[in-house]
Amino acid sequence: MTVHGFNLQVEEVDNGPIESEAGGILTIDLAAIEANWKTLAGLTLPVECAAVVKANAYGCGLEPVTRKLARAGCRTFFVADLTEARRVRAIASDASIYVLNGMAPGSTQAFAHGRFRPVINSLTELAEWDAFVAETKWAGGAALHVDTGMNRLGITIEEATALVPRIESEDHGLSLLMSHFACAETPDHPMNDRQIRTFREIRIMYRGMPSSLANSSGIFLGGTVFCDLVRPGIALYGVNPTPGKNNPMHGVVAAQARIIQVRAVNRGETVGYGASWTAGRPSRLAILAIGYADGFLRSAAASKGKPAAAVIIRGHRCPVVGRVSMDLLAVDVTDVAEGGVRRGDFATLIGDGMSIEDLAAAMGTIPYEVLTSLGHRYHRIYDEG
């Protein structure tokens, strides 16, 4: 695909190894992603609902997710970098595509070629962008990111105030004013109110410019933060944007791992690297063909004060025993009926009552890391619904 003389390769969807050879299977429910986007879009009407598809659509597959959401009516996408932007453009030719990490030095021409919109995160970036626009007369637009408390990217409040006269010019070149919540998943956190009030003051100064503040959890803080565009990310992929409450999103990802061996271990024998687990009874173990190289983190093993993560086999929660290896994982299946676990069967990592949140908690991390760590050695099944 060629856009303004710039070649955009349409990448084939990577389904990983064939199912019969894969150590694990990921099933991604694209219909659920579409339903989640429509739910969020309905909650925020008449405000536009964008979609954040960075990090390979949070591990779910950038191409199939973008295609599904574009067909559902999504017209604005947010990505992290230019590589992701090109992949989205190859599918959504007319969409507005914002690049959250802004511009690397000397990358302005690439933004123009792909019709991407940089998120300007500093005055240095703004100066480089302005020089490019003045020279080329390019009018594709850019977002101005104002830091309201995250202290990560974005210009300061003082810098935003100093730039206010700029918007009086008809060719100011800014298509969006934005900021980012630091604590939206904790509704009563005082930082939320502080950021809302600060961004409201900036919006008043930049009156007439479209604005955006709400991420997934931010949407559930209420209509005062919707502004002109909301940009959900993790909620699209089934993770609860309202921790502690019922999840309003449909589940998206199911993960299974192949059992490649069932073995007996005598009482007193150890398992895995470091001999960190000792059988307290005669035990049966299932060895799964996944490990930390597949996103099942080493922290899933038991540690002082923290029980091990578990997988589901034949309706039983079977705990991880020993350390998680790069390619292998041992779980205790002693309590599953004799003969009920066989080589070639599958254990459920996500699904069958084991949510992403459950697995993340057992690993001592967050659902974001679990999703984005799921590797390419799984066979991927995309369910269109």
13-42 residues labelled b (16+ CB within 10 A) or e (exposed): eebbeeeeebbbbbbbbbebbbbbbebbbe
Q: Pairing between strand 174-178 and 211-212?
A: parallel
**Three-class SS of residue 274?**
helix
* Separation CA 297–CA 305 (nearest Å): 17
Q: Which of 38, 137, 237, 273 is catalytic?
A: 273
Residue 343 CB neighbours (<10 A) = 11
Report the candidate in 385, 276, 286, 382 with the shortest Cα–Cα distance to residue 334: 286
Report the candidate in 213, 147, 227, 208 with the shortest Cα–Cα distance to residue 184: 213
DSSP letter at 191 equals H
Inter-residue contact 375 to 56 (CB < 8 Å) = no
CA distances in angstroms from 133 to 3, 128, 171, listed in the order given: 19, 9, 10
Q: Which of 54, 58, 98, 206 is catalytic?
A: 54
206 is a catalytic site residue: no
* Separation CA 122–CA 196 (nearest Å): 21
Q: What is the 3-state secondary structure (H, E, C) of 22-66?
A: CCEEEEEEHHHHHHHHHHHHHHCCCCEECEECHHHHHCCCHHHHH
Structure tokens at 380: 């991927």
273 is a catalytic site residue: yes
Q: How far is CA 198 from the centre of its chain?
A: 27
* Separation CA 36–CA 50 (nearest Å): 12
The residues annotated with a catalytic role in the active site are 54, 273
